[in-house]
Amino acid sequence: FQAEDGIRDVERSRGLGDVYKRQDYFIPLYKFGEQQKYIIAGGFVIQELTVSFLKTWGENWRDEGDKRLLYYYNYFTQTSPDEREKLVFLSYVLPDEINIGYQKFRTLIIKSINGKKVKSIESVASVLSESNGRYIKITFEGSKQAVLDKKQLQQANKRIAARYNIYKMENL
HSE on the CB side for 42, CA within 13 Å?
22
Print burial letters for 36-49: b (CB count within 10 Å at least 16), e (below 16).
Answer: ebbbbbbbbbbbbb
Q: Please give the pLDDT value at position 8.
A: 45
* pTM (2 d.p.): 0.84
Q: Please give the pLDDT value at position 35.
A: 81
The pLDDT profile of the chain, 172 residues, written as one tens digit per residue, is 344 444 444 455 455 444 444 557 888 876 667 788 999 999 999 999 999 899 999 999 999 999 999 999 999 888 888 889 999 999 999 999 999 999 999 999 999 999 999 999 999 999 999 888 899 999 999 989 999 999 999 999 999 999 999 999 999 9
Q: Please give the pLDDT value at position 19.
A: 44
Other C-beta atoms lying within 10 Å of the C-beta of residue 35: 8
SS3 88: strand
Q: Please give the pLDDT value at position 78.
A: 84
